Amino acid sequence: MSSASTGFTASEMMIVAAARELAGQRVCFVGVGLPNIAVNLAKRTVAPDLELVYEAGVFGARPARLPLSIGDPTIVTHATAVTSMFELFGFYLQGGLIDVGFLGAAQIDRFGNINTTVIGSYASPKTRLPGSGGACEIAQNAKSIFVIMRQSPRSFVDRLDFRTSVGDRVSVVVTDLGIYHRVEGELQLDSLHPGVTLDHVRSAMGWKPRVSESLVETKPPKPAELRMIRDELDPTGVYT
Amino acid sequence: MRDAIAQLVSDGDTVAIEGFTHLISFAAGHEIIRQRKRDLTLCRLTPDLIYDQMIAAGVARKLVFSWLGNPGVGSLHAVRRWTEGERPRLELEEYSHFGMVARYTAGAMKLPFFPLRSYADTDLPRANPLIRPITSPYVDEEVYAVPPLTPDVTIVHAQRADAAGDTQVWGLLGCQKEAAFAASRVIVVVEELVDEAVIRADPNRTILPGLVVDAVVVEPFGAHPSYAQGYYDRDNTFYLEWDAISRDEASLQSWLDEWVHGVTGRAEYVEKMGAARLLGLRPTPAPSGSVDYGEYR
């Protein structure tokens, strides 16, 4: 549902902002969900030379539709290479060929550490989340990690319930409210999305954020970007 | 299929039905449910709907995995019911994707462990004490090790095999090769049985030789609602429907009664699912170019 005042949704702003952060990047490891749509938008806009790498074992994917899952057959047809998962994780990822790993998260802390395993205790969890998948090794082996996730006091937490993936290489976090970059080991709010106030951001997180002295407003989505999301990438509105 | 599962899968076995999103043998999983196997340790990187169904049916006591979800849709509700809260009913042993792939690889190679650059500074080794740090014997460097995984039975779905079990796959390869070579027994389920000459005309595409295969079962659409590259697409409508069916234990059990216990096998399931729905999943053709292996006499 788009906001009457802006003409785009918070999710659309988040996807567009995340896609723009990929300008100039070459080899990107794509995660499930929101990363999938942001990376596919970047490939169609700011980063046409981006090589899309999927953990299912594909290098240089050319998906003709938005992949429904991380192992959709559309990532195979017309790809540069299909590999075993051993090769993909061993040679491409652990071998150091991935510039950006693009991840989602259920919880993140101020240092960029990520939880996708459990809410509550591990032995008797309140909510059982999917677990690592490839995230733990992507976070440790890609040169840089981008995170895209919705921000709330439940997702931006002072203390993670479980550390699934380390934050050392997290360089960008894009949310539905703004954009953070890693400065001196900590996430710093550098940009607020249109219509979002600093107070709103502060109320939607579990720690007192470091804020850039030159905080800016994120440039709103262009009509062409919105058209691609609505007509091509997510016509049924699953992510937006 | 009935004979293969009856003869090769026993109560208490460690069973891996592998195939990463692609080529998941729902046909074999359903037969295991129909035969009411018990106390299985189920292994898969992504348990997917098939293990949600098998766990709900009560065949498993333990799950070894790396990503637990309905891919592209959400949660596996049956598994969540069995694992959340004060008294989980299902034992979990949890790794990352590369950790699981490395475990099958160590199993296939008869190595005591496999080293990898994952897990440092995470809570995963604490959650699973089988993930352990080791120091390189050559340089002062610590990495993590995972133990070999050697299933009693690995089941894979493939596009085609010959009667001897020589098996060919194209599209996503996942870790079926590693999981099969690691196993004591292997069942291959195929869309098509082909002549040996078809296999020999394109040996680069062979992932398993008949040498390691104990049974070949022909089950067209045997991977539905997952997919077989070039044959049919994932039935995403079903993946979405399962989210609703599986939220409620009673509706899940009545689905199992109707679609698993209520049919004799995959052929009847396919007939019941209906030609229109399944043929609607056929992709348009995108054939590979052929290569010339050359004749050397």
Binned at pLDDT 50, 70 and 90, residue A5 comes out as low
Burial class of residue B211, CB neighbours in 10 A (0-12, 13-18, 19+): exposed
Whether A179 maps to a domain, the answer reads yes
Whether A5 maps to a domain, the answer reads no
Report, as an integer, the average pLDDT of B216-222: 98
Per the DSSP assignment, residues forming a β-bridge with B197 are none
Provide the number of CB pairs (under 8 Å) joining chain A to chain B: 163
Alpha-carbon span A119 to B264, nearest angstrom: 41
- Domains of chain B are 2-112+148-279 (3.40.1080.10)
Q: Does A55 qualify as catalytic in the annotation?
A: yes
The number of domains in chain A is 1
Alpha-carbon span A102 to B200, nearest angstrom: 41
Out of B69, B84, B239, whose CB is closest to A127? B84
Alpha-carbon span B54 to B50, nearest angstrom: 6
Domain extent, residue A204, equals 10-233
Partner A, chain B 38-67, Cβ-Cβ below 8 Å: 45-46, 65-67
Q: Enter the tokens of residue B150.
A: 């050697």
In chain B, residues with a C-beta closer than 8 Å to the C-beta of A132 are 66-67, 94-97, 124
Alpha-carbon span B17 to A5, nearest angstrom: 51
pLDDT of res. B130: 98
Strand B215-218, strand B132-135: pairing: unpaired
Q: Which CATH number fits the domain that encloses residue A190?
A: 3.40.1080.10
Binned at pLDDT 50, 70 and 90, residue A1 comes out as very low
Whether A3 maps to a domain, the answer reads no
Alpha-carbon span A189 to A76, nearest angstrom: 38
Whether A153 maps to a domain, the answer reads yes
Contact yes or no for A215/A192 (Cβ under 8 A): yes
Per the DSSP assignment, residues forming a β-bridge with A119 are A127
Whether A157 maps to a domain, the answer reads yes
Q: Which residue of B has its CA nearest to A58?
A: B172
Contact yes or no for B60/B54 (Cβ under 8 A): yes
Looking at CA atoms only, how far is residue B7 from chain A in angstroms? Answer: 30
Contact yes or no for A177/A196 (Cβ under 8 A): yes
CA dist list (Å): B79 to A127, B34, B53, B87, B150:
11, 19, 9, 13, 23
Whether A238 maps to a domain, the answer reads no
DSSP letter (8 states) at residue B234: -
pLDDT per position as a tens digit, B242-292: 999 999 999 999 999 999 999 999 999 999 999 999 999 999 999 999 999
Whether A114 maps to a domain, the answer reads yes
Catalytic residue among A12, A55, A137, A225: A55
pLDDT of res. B231: 98
Whether A2 maps to a domain, the answer reads no
| pTM (predicted TM-score) | 0.96
Residues with Cβ within 8 Å of residue A16, at least 6 apart in sequence: A41, A221, A222, A225, A226, A229
CB contact under 8 A, B98 and A94: yes
Q: Give the largest Cα separation in chain A, rounded.
A: 49
Strand B14-17, strand B153-161: pairing: parallel
